[in-house]
Amino acid sequence: MENKKEMRTWLDDMKLNHPLVIAGPCSAETEEQVLKIAHELKDTDVNYFRAGIWKPRTRPGNFEGVGALGLKWLQKVKEETGMKTCTEVANAAHVKLALEHDVDLLWIGARSTVSPFIMQEIADALEGTDKIVLVKNPVNPDLSLWLGGIERLYSAGVKNLGAIHRGFSTYEKSKYRNIPEWQVAIEFQNKFPDLPLINDPSHITGNREMIFDVSQTALDLNFDGLMIETHFDPENAWSDAAQQVTPSSLIQIMNDLKIRKETDSEAQYNSELNNLRAQIDVVDNQILDLLGKRMKVADGIGGLKKQKNVAVLQSKRWNEILGKMVLEGEERGLSEEFILRMFKAVHQESINRQEKIING
């Protein structure tokens, strides 16, 4: 992937005055449903109409999509509204059918990206296509898998490439359906700054009430666009009802989102500053999450010490940790003074919590 700029051409050629917007229902349910949503979106800033035709579900027995029949509905969308269409492909057979029905943009889902075997099969089926192909991040936060999937497509002669950030699965309780792990997307941008990156707030949040905030964060981090699931009757959608918004809500979201100006040097400075500050906000939240987890571990140690009647302070262990952190901090460009201040504060909080547990 030496000529990364070449892959940005399809987005540059669109000459948009706003971020790319992909919208439509999670699943194509009926021809009437698909066409109704499309007609409500046709005169908006939506650039691509999306609909899931094949729906890979975690467990069998749930609605798994209408299949190839839905591709004919997407053809009608294009005929009646003039909108470009897109859908997810999960294997070579899906690719063949989607290309036969002239779908304009294909995306590869998180469950497919996680398998190099599947990605290679899809890449072989797409060899040399001029269609736009977007790759969602794998379900786990593995940047190499994400990049590897894109590289397989590029090696197959697919030049109109991009990526979709849809968050990552976690076993921990979270307000998100899939935690964003923004630092992975930031690292992706740093490695491939000219590769279009789209955010999928619907799958990150799993909750329509959170879609605006995640969308704004994505734009603050210089994402190129958004994919937002849209349904005229979200509450009764056949899949992922909680994360879909109505067309009118989507329009309101797009109107309320703040887009940074890049018309002069001052605007450019503010844009870069906002981007860096947004990255700091993401990292700061991660630091707080990690500190919270560390203190829970410290609480466990306090409980164990209380059970065995062991003293809270273990000086030898503490000095070993401090020496190790100073050395590792230096390797990361952090001063000894900073490391000592920070870890002494963390250690003191741990001691305080353990004392409360032992003496409580």
Measured distance CA(129)–CA(205) in Å, rounded: 33
Three-class SS state of 228: strand
Query: Residue holding tokens 């889902």?
Result: 109
Q: pLDDT digits over 108-136, tens only?
A: 999 999 999 999 999 999 999 999 999 99
Amino acid of residue 49: F
Query: Residue holding tokens 């269409």?
Result: 85
Amino acid of residue 262: E
Extract the tokens encoding 219.
């734009």
DSSP letter, residue 193: T
Extract the tokens encoding 157.
């002669």
What pLDDT is attached to residue 4? 45
Most confident of 71-75, 179-183, 269-273, 313-317: 71-75
Measured distance CA(25)–CA(70) in Å, rounded: 12
Extract the tokens encoding 202.
């619907």
Extract the tokens encoding 85.
């269409």
What pLDDT is attached to residue 197? 97
Extract the tokens encoding 356.
């409360």
What pLDDT is attached to residue 163? 98
Measured distance CA(60)–CA(51) in Å, rounded: 20
Residue 123: exposure state from Cβ atoms within 10 A (0-12, 13-18, ≥19): buried
Q: Which one is predicted more confidently, 139 or 60? A: 139
Protein fold of 271-359? Chorismate Mutase Domain, subunit A (1.20.59)
Measured distance CA(166)–CA(201) in Å, rounded: 7
- φ/ψ region of 226 (left if φ > 0, alpha if ψ in -120 to 50, else beta) reads beta
Region 241-262 average pLDDT:
90
Measured distance CA(44)–CA(170) in Å, rounded: 35
Note the pTM of the prediction, 2 decimals. 0.79
Q: pLDDT digits over 52-76, tens only?
A: 998 765 555 566 678 999 999 999 9
Amino acid of residue 284: D
List the domain boundaries for the chain.
Answer: 4-259, 271-359
For the chain, helix, strand, coil in percent to 5 are 55, 10, 35
Protein fold of 4-259? TIM Barrel (3.20.20)
Name the residue among 241, 246, 204, 238 with its Cα closest to residue 221.
Answer: 204
Helix (H) or strand (E) holding 92: helix 92-100
Name the residue among 136, 241, 224, 144 with its Cα closest to residue 187.
Answer: 144
Domains 4-259 and 271-359 share a fold: no
Let me know: does 25 contact 229? Beta carbons within 8 Å. yes
Mean pLDDT of all residues belonging to the chain? 91
DSSP letter, residue 105: E
What pLDDT is attached to residue 112? 95
Q: pLDDT digits over 295-316, tens only?
A: 999 999 989 988 889 888 888 8
Extract the tokens encoding 172.
């921990």
What pLDDT is attached to residue 263? 46
Measured distance CA(158)–CA(77) in Å, rounded: 26
